Amino acid sequence: GENVEQHPSTLSVQEGDSAVIKCTYSDSASNYFPWYKQELGKGPQLIIDIRSNVGEKKDQRIAVTLNKTAKHFSLHITETQPEDSAVYFCAASRSGTSYDKVIFGPGTSLSVIP
Amino acid sequence: EAGVTQSPTHLIKTRGQQVTLRCSPISGHTSVYWYQQALGLGLQFLLWYDEGEERNRGNFPPRFSGRQFPNYSSELNVNALELEDSALYLCASSLLYQPQHFGDGTRLSIL
């Protein structure tokens, strides 16, 4: 079945450093890749997404890259701040089809040390 | 604009009981999704409803069921509760095939 792997499971960085989270997916028909941030006691919040016709997308300090050939995609956070500390989930889906079931990775717990 | 709202926020049940969780989507959204997030685990897809119809279902037993009402709100029903059903149940809504927006979930504890 469909699967999304995510690494690392935990990540600690110093404030101001960059953080990178990597994901791989198994379903070659996946065409939509969202990233969610989940703070303690809250539901996941969409922070950035990318579709398969784009290789890279950036929004201020956050960027996502996609390599469809290798079925890899990554989240890059620059100039990290303490408020970036949270659990981050990558996901993949066949958006626009009746198989549009979002498969989530297991999550990465990011800690930004002041 | 109000976000996705879920009720109740917390719930305690015992084994064998039945529970109903509720979700109100963002105004205008027609799709509602349900996920289970067990402690320390990722989000497991449960159900997807759009325009009142079940569109897709995850690998969960039939005692997990739900429905979507004409106003697009949704219920998730779980029968014959088991200890391993203890989890955070998350609801998300979207326009069809658009990004999903999540509520803060219902924390279900089974004793």
For residue B108, pLDDT beyond 80: yes
| pLDDT of A34 higher than 70 | yes
* Chain B residue with Cα closest to A98: B55
Contacts of B75 (CB under 8 A, 6+ apart): B20, B21, B22, B23, B66, B67, B69
Q: What is the pLDDT of residue A99?
A: 61
Chain A residues with beta carbon closer than 8 angstroms to that of B105? 43
Distance (Å, whole) CA A73 – CA B23: 31
Q: Which tens digits make up the pLDDT trace of B67-98? A: 999 999 999 999 999 999 999 999 999 988 78
* Tens digits of residue pLDDT in A51-96: 988 899 999 999 999 999 999 999 999 999 999 999 999 999 887 7
- Cis omega (within 30 of 0) for bond into B61: no
Cα atoms found within 13 Å of the Cα of residue A66, Cβ hemisphere only: 23
User: Are residues A106 and B103, on separate chains, in Cβ contact within 8 Å?
Assistant: no
pLDDT of residue A57: 93
Distance CA A107, CA A58 (A): 21
What residue of B is the nearest CA neighbor of A32? B99
Closest by CA to A5, choosing from A26, A24, A28, is: A24
Q: Does A40 touch chain B (CB under 8 A)?
A: no
The pLDDT of residue A41 is 87
Single-letter amino acid code for the residue at A71: K
B89: phi then psi, degrees, rounded to nearest 5 = -105, 120
